[in-house]
Structure 1
Amino acid sequence: MAVAVLTTADAAAKAALSRRHAATWFAARAAGEALPIGRATPPPQPARPESPALLPPRDVPRRRLGSPQGRIALLHAVAHIELNAVDLHWDIIARFTDQPMPPGFYDDWVKAAEDEAKHFTLISACLHGLGSHYGALPAHQGMWRAAEDTAHDLSARLAVVPMVLEARGLDVTPGMIDLFRSAGEAQSVAALEVIYAEEVAHVAYGSKWFNWLCGRAGSDPRDEFHRLVRQYFHSTLKPPFNEAKRAVFPPRQVDRQFLADHSANMCGKSRVPVMNVAKLQWLQY
């Protein structure tokens, strides 16, 4: 299942296959069947369509978000993130089968992959409604670089992808919703509200399984999270943070002062773009 999604290049077909495999998985689980986890070698990088062109993060053009073209660019960036997330979640299923994990681990990440495929489909429909499509604008490989950096370490993958990158989505999505609501783009507002509601669970999955692994290894979750973020997260995170939605983390584990200090240390070194909440535009640090 996982490798089949990862090796599907067409974006719409990838999303459809993700949802189809998730339905098969959960139907079997509901029937009490034990689907074999199996072993397969995921590709170093997932298959991708010919477009969008993938540029270094600093070369992706900036657009003023107050314009229709700027809002299309923002939706295109969200679609690219969601498609990457489909691959990231199937990759975590396929890449770490050498480590024994409970069935619930696979339930959670299959569900997350199903959600991300739905999110990509929703945002693609928004782009079509505005006369555009996924692939019409360039994008970057920043998110997948996080997967490459953590391909050897499940704890690192959980710390960086769901607990940092996806948690950042909880910080910035309310501002995006306000932007599209002000522009009167109801379809985009509705799609982003679905994404905002469902991404909380993905962050919670990351925190749950990260803490489970720490418990198995006898390591302190807070210290281990800080160590792994320092080693593998190559960008900055600046406030404000969405304290209400970030409550899925145990108290003090994702320390705001730690994130601020890490951001200060990374200024000028960053390889991966993050969203500036105040300006609502993609920036490089």
Structure 2
Amino acid sequence: MLPLRRLPPLPLPLPHGPARRRLFATAASASATAASPLPWPGLHAWRRAPPSDLRTWGPHGPCASPDADEAEASEAEASAPSSLAEMGALVLYTSDPLAKARLTHAAFSRWIAGLPVGLAGAPNHPARPNKPIVVTQKEITTHKQMGVPLNAYMLHMLAHVELNAIDLAWDTVVRFSPLRDTLGDDFFADFARVADDESRHFRWYSQRLAELGFSYGDMPVHNLLWRECAKSSSDVSARLAVIPLVQEARGLDAGPRLVQKLLGFGDHRSADIVTKVAEEELAHVSVGLHWFLKVCQMMGHVPDATFRDLIKEHDVVLKGPFNYPARDEAGIPREWYEEKLKHETPSKLSEVHDRLARIVEMEKENPSLNG
């Protein structure tokens, strides 16, 4: 294990305050106290897969996009910058959601073809369209109050999650591009692939919304997801803890309940999309865990103590119920989040995934599912 002072010239950003002191105090006993989590068995195949062109949801599941969409992607690719980080920055500065998704796919395809990582700066906040209207969490109302069907309401919120996920992955690539010599190309390859997955998920949700007579932007959203990203903008270990191991893991927790709600509503097509997205989130959580462990190793930190300290320091909420089988498959040790939950106090911060999962409870007083 390399001591911190012998890392390459661009050192990893370190946690500040109590977490930093505890990490150095416990580093010496890392090998004796921290068991290595088992990786997700599908991670190797996920990394080796070519860019997926299955960006449309057909009658029987994912299928290739129409030629018009591919032409737009080719046009975006032809005029794109000359490095992965610069292309990621271009995505972040692009406000149109579908253009953001197309540019993402073009960027990842060019990366696979040999584009270098490069160097770029990330904006404080990604560009967004004029709609949807951004409100506070308390101002988000139920689907009945909005007068929209439950399935459209859920899909719009999930599309918002995926749009943020595209930008979260690119922000990780761009913001930490100065650490390329320390982290290595594989780090950026993994998160560019995550961005591409998320862009495909956004396309599926957008398509399904259109089939229901809606589009992304028709309903208000809140900005809590990006606030979590901002908390971890100066520390790569915090970014990995907060985003893949908390936010994306919540998608694993909520997925089965959302699928059951859509099936109860009678929307099997939307349920199939949510099922597929939840399956693919396993890779994102697993790759986040892989790099969190890698960074802890480089910095000489105990992974489980580091995770709990970072979550506490950045005021991130861990909430059940947990989908233990999915989390186990992704490789997150239960003691990382169960021990923290025992001491967690209620917080005003609530994620979109949690809100959607609670829709089941909101509907109990009214047995009608056709609101």
For the criterion TM > 0.5, the same-fold answer is: yes
Q: Does 1:79 align with 2:165?
A: no
User: 1:62·1:282 contact (CA, 8 Å) conserved in 2?
Assistant: no
Read off the aligned partner of 1:96 and give its amino acid letter.
Answer: F
Which aligned pairs between 1:52-201 and structure 2 lie closer than 5 A?
52-63=132-143, 69-99=149-179, 100-201=182-283
Q: Which moved more, 1:56-65 or 1:127-136?
A: 56-65
1:202 offset after TM fit, Å? 0.2
In structure 2, relative to structure 1, the CA distance for the partners of 1:42 and 1:229 (3 Å cut) is same
Q: Which has the higher contact order (CA 8 A, sep 6+)?
A: 2
1:40 and 2:126 matched? no
Q: Give 1:226 deviation, angstroms.
A: 0.1
Counterpart-to-counterpart distance in 2, 1:134 and 1:277: 17
TM normalised by structure 2 equals 0.69
Instruction: Choose from 314, 335, 339 the match for 1:257.
Output: 339
Matches within 5 A, 1:184-263: 184-239=266-321, 241-247=322-328, 248-252=330-334, 254-262=336-344
Matched, 1:275 2:361: no
Q: TM-score, normalised by structure 1?
A: 0.89
In structure 1, distance between residues paired with 2:173 and 2:235 = 13
> Structure 1 residue 19 and structure 2 residue 105: aligned?
yes
The 3 A distance-change label for structure 1 pair 237 and 64 is farther
* Cα pair distance change 1:277/1:75, threshold 3 Å: closer
Q: Aligned in 2, Cα 1:282/1:133: closer, same or farther, shift over 3 Å?
A: farther
Q: 1:79 offset after TM fit, Å? A: 0.2
SS in structure 1 opposite 2:309? helix
Q: Following the alignment from structure 2 to structure 1, what is the Cα–Cα distance between the partners of residues 129 and 352?
A: 22
**Equivalent residues of 2:170, 2:192 under 8 A apart:** yes
Which runs of no fewer than 5 residues in structure 1 stay unpaired? 29-34
Q: By how many angstroms is 1:271 displaced?
A: 6.2
* 2:161–2:352 contact (8 Å) kept in structure 1: no
Deviation at 1:212, TM superposition (A): 0.4
Distance across 2 between alignment mates of 1:250 and 1:257: 13
Unaligned runs of at least 5 residues, structure 2: 1-86, 363-371
Work out the number of aligned pairs and report it: 272
Superposition deviation, residue 234 in structure 1 = 3.7
